[in-house]
Amino acid sequence: MPRLFAGLVDDAAVFPPGSAALPDAVVAHRRHRTAWYADLVGPLLLPASTLPELPDLLDPDEPMAVGVIADVPIGQLDAALAEADPRITVRQVEAAVAKRGEDPQPGLAELVKLAERLGGIPVHAEIPLTFGLMGALDAVAEARADGLPVAAKFRTGGLAAELFPTPIELAAVISACRDRELPFKLTAGLHHAVRHRDPETGFTHHGFVNVLAAALAASDGAEVDAVAELLAATDPVRLAERARADRDAGRPLWIGYGSCSIEEPLTDLIRLGLVNGGYEE
């Protein structure tokens, strides 16, 4: 697996639209972790409330790395994590700090305090792309500068059209993270490599290779309009060439994203010729 794609896709099988049952998700994740493409796959993402169910699904000596998604108040996450089975390694904690239109600062301050208490576990603050966004990014960058392993997280899709940011909106966010040297994670809507319109919903989805190309360009100093142009591109050859040129380098800025399917992004990477399908070159 080329370095550019290492850990790109966290396994969000239990979340919509896949909504797999936890036992099925664990079996599938176990298969992903032993497959030739294992380096593509990040931890299994689980709601905090389901952590107590996981130990019964593991073999006696089987370790499992997970990312914990807050479906309980931020103040209750300490207890949920403290009670985790010793076979479970919490790789990251992710929590929304506000709803759309709300001030993100109070929730963000609470999440920063959680990061202080967790003592080194990366924390991703999901910030809505609305009111107070840039101030929230400043606060996350300040906490990071103080040594806390915090990063930003943004939604790039959902069940309503307004949850899909435009290319210029997403480009502005990527560039703002670049300017603050702030890593970010994405979630929702990134089902395929290239920007496309879903015929069932009519929503136009961002492509994850578009985001890769945009993050690479932003890291190289591109202006917002040039980053937006890459996010809006639908030519797979152009995007694949941009990614291929840097596929042996580390991924700048973008931590990765959660997907309810591992097979879909993997298949797209193979079709674009960006990974070799398990065979040695």
50 located within any domain: yes
Exposed (0-12), middle (13-18) or buried (19+): which is 160, by Cβ within 10 Å? Answer: exposed
One-letter amino acid of 221: G
279 located within any domain: no
What CA–CA distance (Å, rounded) separates 252 from 175?
12
Q: pLDDT > 70: what percent of the chain?
A: 99
112: containing domain: 3-272
281 located within any domain: no
> Residues 135-162: pLDDT tens digits?
999 999 999 999 999 999 999 998 888 8
253 located within any domain: yes
207 located within any domain: yes
Q: Give the pLDDT band (50/70/90) at residue 280.
A: very low
Mean pLDDT of 209-231: 97
CATH of the domain at 225: 3.20.20.70
Give 83 or 271, the one with higher predicted confidence.
271
**Mean per-residue pLDDT of the chain:** 95
> Residues 67-123: pLDDT tens digits?
999 999 999 999 999 989 999 999 999 999 999 999 999 999 999 999 999 989 999
Position 73 scores a pLDDT of 94
At residue 279, does pLDDT exceed 80? no
> For the chain, what is the domain count?
1
Position 161 scores a pLDDT of 87
Q: Give the pLDDT band (50/70/90) at residue 278.
A: low
Mean pLDDT of 242-256: 94
Position 281 scores a pLDDT of 37
149 located within any domain: yes
Position 241 scores a pLDDT of 96
DSSP count for the chain of H helices, then E strands: 9, 10
Residue identified by tokens 């709601």 is 47
280 located within any domain: no
CB 250 within 8 A of CB 180: no
278 located within any domain: no
